[in-house]
């Protein structure tokens, strides 16, 4: 399972998207993913694709607090499935400015990966 997470420098957090490999979600997994307003979906191999990213982008926009002025800046991994013409048009419609980091480099330079997930992964490995 993958967890798509997003947080802002001012402290608000977007509820996660759980991405489960396969075509169906079993009840045990559903019951474990109970964060308010979170979403759960499937992908054949468990990886993000453009269609899922489009849905996540809408989820992202819906969960931005009303007090936050738009446009809003979204910094994220520039993997090919995260960026295409449709995604660009959706971002413009939603008033989201996209800043893409070099593909597959977030574990080195993205603040959430460095400050939060690295520690979490280290704890899980031990």
Residues 13-32: pLDDT tens digits? 999 998 888 888 777 767 77
Question: Could you report the per-residue pLDDT of 70-98, keeping only the tens digit for each?
Answer: 999 998 888 888 889 999 999 999 999 99
pLDDT for the residue numbered 76: 86
pLDDT score recorded for residue 98: 94
Its pTM stands at 0.81
Q: What angle do CA 14, 19, 25 make, to 5 degrees?
A: 120
Residues 6+ apart with CB under 8 A from 72: 64, 95, 96, 97
Percentage of the chain beyond pLDDT 90 is 33
Looking at 21-25, 44-48, 106-110, which range is the least confident one?
A: 106-110
Residue 66 dihedral angles phi and psi, to the nearest 5°: -60, -20
**What pLDDT does 35 receive?**
84
Give residue 32's pLDDT: 72
Rounded to the nearest integer, the mean pLDDT of the chain is 85
Q: Is a pLDDT exceeding 90 seen at residue 2?
A: no
The DSSP H or E segment spanning 42 is strand 39-43
pLDDT on residue 73: 93
């Amino acid at each position: 399972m993958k967890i798509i997470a997003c947080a802002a420098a001012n402290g608000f957090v977007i509820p996660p998207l759980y991405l489960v490999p396969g075509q169906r979600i079993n009840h045990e997994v559903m019951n474990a993913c109970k964060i308010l307003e979170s979403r759960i979906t499937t992908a054949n191999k468990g990886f993000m694709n453009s269609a899922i990213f489009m849905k996540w982008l809408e989820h992202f926009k819906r969960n931005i607090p009303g007090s936050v002025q738009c446009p809003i800046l979204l910094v994220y991994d520039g993997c090919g499935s995260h960026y295409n013409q449709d995604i660009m048009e959706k971002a413009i419609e939603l008033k989201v400015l996209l800043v893409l980091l070099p593909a597959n480099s977030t574990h080195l330079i993205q603040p959430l990966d460095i400050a939060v997930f690295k520690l979490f992964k280290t704890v899980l490995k031990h």
